[in-house]
Structure 1
Amino acid sequence: MPLPLHRSTLCRVSVAATLVIGSGLAGGRMAQAQAQAQAQTQTQTQTQAPAATPPSAATPSPPPTQTWNFDIRLDGKPIGTHRFEVSGPPDTRTVTSNARMDVKLLGLTVFRYRHQVEERWKGDCLDALKSSTDDDGKPQRVDWRREAAGSAAGTASPPSDCIMSYAYWHPALVQQRRLFNPQTGQIDDVKVERLPDAPIQVSGREVMGARWQLITKPPTGDPQRLTLWLDRSDQRWLGLDARVRGDRLLTYRLP
């Protein structure tokens, strides 16, 4: 998400002032002096120096980039990673994510998943999105812009009003009732419920987390239950749990 550069326009004003100096002397010997003084009257032009240039307004520093590098586990066993990066000011954010998963059995890969997304945001609204997914050999691509209200062929186009993607990093996600799915290009209905707080391991230490349950319902297919973990103190994203096929537990944790 370029920063607007604030520039000051400086005006230099030149003021010319003409100063006429004359002396008048009266009487006796003073007459000659008077004549001489009048003859020697001079006109001097004095130009005021340009105004000092005020210091330029300081350019605001860009907000720090936020990154999450999650380890992905299936029933406690590592199967991949998912990196998220959020950069830029709120009105022009850029969000990128890159997921890699490989599930193996007896040394053989039985499931392979790759997912790359680049999103552009305006404020709290998704403005444009491009994604590429390889879901175990099934390719999917989405190229969507809010102003065009378009999406990948064969997928539902979201309306042109404000909508979010599955932006787990955004505190307002838990207030949403529908989300744009970056893998399918469709809108999923979402029901959000608050769960009791619980501890979670974050980078080797225990943190008290605020938990939210998301029940997502795509236009086609079965609902899915997700548990979103946020830091109770500052609402920073800490983790994610999901029940997947076979009632297996998929988890995102920060190493």
Structure 2
Amino acid sequence: MRGLMPGLALAALAGAAPATVAPPQASLRAWDFAVTLDGKPIGWHRFRLVPGAAAGTRMLHSEAQYRVSFLGIPVFRYDHEAREQWQGDCLSALSASTDDDGRKSGVQADLGADGLRITRSTPGAEQPPPPQVASGCIMSFAYWNPAMREQSRLLNPQTGLIEAVQIAQLAGGSLTAGGQVVAAERWRISGAASPIDVWYTADGDWVGLDAQVGGTRKLSYRLQ
């Protein structure tokens, strides 16, 4: 059941933000998603977008929690927290931590003269992987930002890896979001571990997500 969060997570619970990340102020936007696995509730994922301290910057704070049980016995847990700083549509700082069913990891990123410097950490590892530097404008799996749909590479805040992706619009449909049925466009992200379908209104508002996990199981987000 590892990897229930494909690229998302925007995301550990006591992770400290880098010095360049300002504390949240009044929210610009907020998204609260109910998370289901094969139609059964397992948790939530929340996002808060706020103005940054510097002009033209934004801060995104996200938290996720999943709990899966079988016959009343807990069999899987997942906690993820991330703080991202954005300059326009480009990521300029990231602090993320994940507890994937007991396997903990962290990712830090800061923008320097040569690009976005990304450092990964895994408690207990004999030797941490070397930092990597990504040049150009880097975005994470920022489903909330329609500009993500124009990208060919995305930073996974759970693994700290830059992933090559292909993003294309598919046939749309309807889904229940915010307590009502809404028409939605569907965009598929391919190239990650498994395809991710992201749902938007015609105005570009993110309202849902579907992904295959564990081979045949369906993980879904629906806006509350």
The TM-score with structure 2 as length reference comes to 0.80
Deviations 1:8-55 (A, max 9, x none): xxxxxxxxxxxxxxxxxxxxxxxxxxxxxxxxxxxxxxxxxxxxxxxx
Q: Is this contact kept in 1: 2:177–2:223, CA < 8 A?
A: yes
Looking at structure 1, the residues matched to 130 and 197 of structure 2 have their Cα atoms a distance apart, in angstroms, of 26
The structure with higher relative contact order (CA 8 Å, sep 6+) is: 2
Tell me the SS of whatever aligns to 1:146: strand
Residues in 2 aligned to 1:113 and 1:158: alpha-carbon distance in whole angstroms: 28
Q: Structure 1 residue 78 and structure 2 residue 61: aligned? A: no
Instruction: Return the offset for 1:91.
Output: 1.7
Contact in 2 for aligned 1:119/1:129 (Cα 8 Å): yes
1:39-50 maps to which residues of 2 (within 5 A)? none
Q: Distance between the aligned counterparts of 1:250 and 1:181, measured in 2? A: 18
CA deviations 1:162-195 (Å, max 9, x no partner) are: 1100100101111100000101111011111211
Cα distance between partner residues in 1 of 2:188 and 2:57: 29
Measure the CA separation in 2 of the matches of 1:253 and 1:158: 34
Closer, same or farther in 2 for the Cα pair 1:190/1:158, shift >3 Å? farther
**Distance in 1 of aligned mates of 2:96 and 2:182:** 33
| 1:10-29 paired onto structure 2 within 5 Å | none
Cα contact 2:197–2:211 (8 A) shared by 1: yes
Task: Map Cα deviations across residues 204-232 of structure 1 (whole Å, 9 max, x no partner).
Answer: 21111011011133xxxxx3110000011
**Which of 67, 73, 76 is the aligned partner of 1:108?**
73
Question: Is residue 162 of structure 1 aligned with residue 130 of structure 2?
Answer: no
Query: Secondary structure of the equivalent of 2:220?
Result: strand
Tell me: CA distance 1:155–1:206, structure 2 relative to 1, closer, same or farther (3 Å): farther
* Matched residue SS, 1:174: helix
Counterparts of 1:60-75 in structure 2, within 5 Å, are: 65-75=28-38
User: Is the contact between residue 158 and residue 180 of structure 1 (CA under 8 Å) also seen in structure 2?
Assistant: no
Mapping 1:143-222, distance limit 5 Å: 143-147=108-112, 149-152=117-120, 153-154=128-129, 157-217=132-192
The percent identity for this pair of structures is 41
Report how far residue 200 of structure 1 moved: 1.2
In structure 1, the residue corresponding to 2:195 is in which secondary structure?
Answer: strand
Q: Kindly report the root-mean-square deviation, in angstroms, between the aligned alpha carbons of the 2 structures.
A: 1.9
Measured in 2, the distance between the counterparts of 1:121 and 1:226 equals: 23
State the structure with more CA Rg.
1
Aligned residue pairs total 190
Rounded to whole Å, the distance in 2 between the matches of 1:64 and 1:133 is 24
Unaligned runs of 5+ in 2: 1-20, 121-127
Distance 1:78 1:155, change over 3 A: farther
Unmatched 5+ residue regions in structure 1? 3-61, 218-222
Contact 1:85/1:96 (CA < 8 Å) preserved in 2?
A: yes
- Greater share of helix residues, 1 or 2? 1
Hey, what does 2:11 align to over in structure 1? none
- Quote how far apart the aligned CAs of 1:246 are: 3.3
Structure-2 residue corresponding to 1:94: 59
Closer/same/farther in 2, CA of residues 121 and 201 from structure 1, 3 Å limit? same
Runs of 4+ residues deviating >6 angstroms: none
With over 3 angstroms needed to count, the CA separation of the structure-2 counterparts of 1:63 and 1:178, relative to structure 1, is: same
Other-structure match for 2:95: 130
User: Aligned AA for 1:254?
Assistant: L
- Cα offset for 1:156? 6.0
Structure 2 counterpart of 1:253: 222
Matched with 1:224 is: 194
Partner amino acid for 1:239?
A: G
